[in-house]
Amino acid sequence: MSLMDFLLSWPLLILLLVKMIRRLFATFIEQPIQGQAADILPSPAPLPGRQFSNARLQSLSWLHAAAPCFPVRGDSITVIQDPKVFYETVVAKCASAKSRIILASLYLGIGQLETRLISVLRDNLRENKQLKINFLLDFNRGTRGKINSRTTIMPLIEESENVSLSLYHTPVLRGLTKRFAPPRWNELLGLQHMKVYLFDNSVIISGANLSNDYFTNRQDRYIMIENKTLADFYAGLVGKVQEFSLQVSKESSFELQNSWKHWPYEGNQSVFVQEARQRIFSYFSEVVDKQKNAVDMEKDADTWIFPVIEMGQLGIHHDSIVTKAIFQNSLPSTRIRMATGYFNLTQEYMDSIADCQAECAILMAHPNANGFKGAKGPAGGIPDAYTLIARQFYEKLRAAKQEHRVSLYEYQLPGWTYHAKGLWYYLPNSNLPAMTLIGSSNFGERSVNRDLETQVCIVTENPDLQRRLEAECENLYRLGSAAESDITQRDIPRWVRAVVSVFKNFF
């Protein structure tokens, strides 16, 4: 190959482009403010009715000091395993809700299934004048293209005063970066990534978006909890984020809420961040105070829900601290089975896994089950990037002589992609999980530092719920094959190896 041919080779050009964009980002973007969860999100001490009644669960009692606690009965929780069932559940709930529907997601798709969902919402609005519907989506993802989430929802807004659409715009995207970063690229800087679907007093916590793939052949996780107090909590949380998001008017323009004075991409970024952070802080303080004074508790609770959030660009690190503590507080003879759609664990997560006492397994997407498989341009190299990161992690495990304790698996099902995440925790010598973590976080750099995330940590002594959680976990892991050999032998393009170290915290 001549020197000219080499200089014109597309991998090198991509690498040069990546470095230029990286420099642009570093010049014009303020880094997310780092914070400590203990200083930001207050939590109550264990109160009567919230404490674990089973002595075997006492090793998890530290959770009471980490997050608000909502006691429920295990039979109020539904574990959904199939994306089609998830879709039909959402549609049925949208049709039957009487007072409130809250749909917080990255985006709403524009296909036939999504159109049916909008039609069901319209029919319910026309029959039920008391119903209020709130959407919270990401600004950049929700306005991408001429036909998008906003244009799909606009007919509902135009027809009814009871429908609102809020679009969270990251305060990091501003100035020259906002002006020149093209669609898709501007989404690298931070997103509204929480997945909360609320219908009256029912809450579905998931990692799935509201679009065709997630309704048909993209495997994720979905848990529905029937509890008014928890539903009220999430309604309030979504409402707080909506306060500093952009509101869409009937004329399809963007407005600020009356109580908010700061545009996310104008003025002082630090002022926006600090005030938004304070609103979340104040909300959690109100929840804690209300719980301290609560008298009506779930008397026969056998399951405890701990909501956790992560808003790294606002300086809120809560979910990541709780997740790390799960590994750090694990006991000998415990097991942790983890799942992530994208293997890009933070260094702190990898260190926590390598140093913990539990036997660990991690299920990730095989390159063939990765949603970026076959994508055009640099995005097509993302599956290789995840393989490289997994390889580097496995090599560190071998160097620390911990590969016997940590196993890696890759999910693959022909015609399907994989997006499931969370973990299942097994007490010493137990065959059933006593705890699960489920939500929107992929446990990666983006989840910790760039996106808005929420999860729930569910601790249960209910045998039936434990069996259903085990069935969910088994349903995913049965399609996983041992990955250690493949990830060490798989060929990784040179340009991907060069890019990963530069852009790891953007995907």
Where b means 16+ CB within 10 Å and e means fewer, 315-326 reads bbbbbbbbbbeb
* Residue pointed to by tokens 């959680």: 469
* Residue pointed to by tokens 């608000």: 68
Q: How many residues does the chain have?
A: 507
Please choose, from the candidates 457, 446, 477, 465, the residue with its C-alpha nearest in 3D space to the C-alpha of residue 319: 457
316 strand-pairing partners: 311
Type of residue at 25 = F
| Greatest extent of the chain over all pairs of C-alpha atoms, in Å | 79
Respond yes or no: is residue 296 known to be catalytic: no
- Compute how many other C-beta atoms are within 10 angstroms of the C-beta atom of residue 239: 15
Respond yes or no: is residue 366 known to be catalytic: no
Provide CB contacts within 8 A for 183, sequence distance 6+: 140, 144, 145
Q: Which of 64, 169, 178, 195 is catalytic?
A: 195
Q: Which of 19, 132, 200, 504 is catalytic?
A: 200
Q: Dihedral angle at the C-alpha atoms of 116, 103, 259, 308, nearest 10 degrees?
A: -170
Query: In the chain, what is the straight-line distance between the N-terminal and C-terminal CA atoms, in Å?
Result: 33
- Compute how many other C-beta atoms are within 10 angstroms of the C-beta atom of residue 290: 14
Pairing of strands 316-317, 417-418: unpaired
DSSP structure class, residue 180: H
Distance CA(104)–CA(464), nearest Å, equals 29
Distance CA(402)–CA(448), nearest Å, equals 25
Respond yes or no: is residue 123 known to be catalytic: no
Distance CA(343)–CA(65), nearest Å, equals 29
Instruction: Give whole-number Cα distances, 98 to 124, 154, 201, 239, 371, in Å.
Output: 8, 21, 10, 19, 36
- Compute how many other C-beta atoms are within 10 angstroms of the C-beta atom of residue 152: 19
DSSP structure class, residue 31: P
Distance CA(440)–CA(105), nearest Å, equals 9
Please choose, from the candidates 456, 424, 437, the residue with its C-alpha nearest in 3D space to the C-alpha of residue 306: 456
Where b means 16+ CB within 10 Å and e means fewer, 185-210 reads ebbbbbbbbbbbbbbbbbbbbbbbbb
Q: Which of 193, 240, 324, 366 is catalytic?
A: 193
Q: Which residues does the annotation mark as catalytic?
A: 193, 195, 200
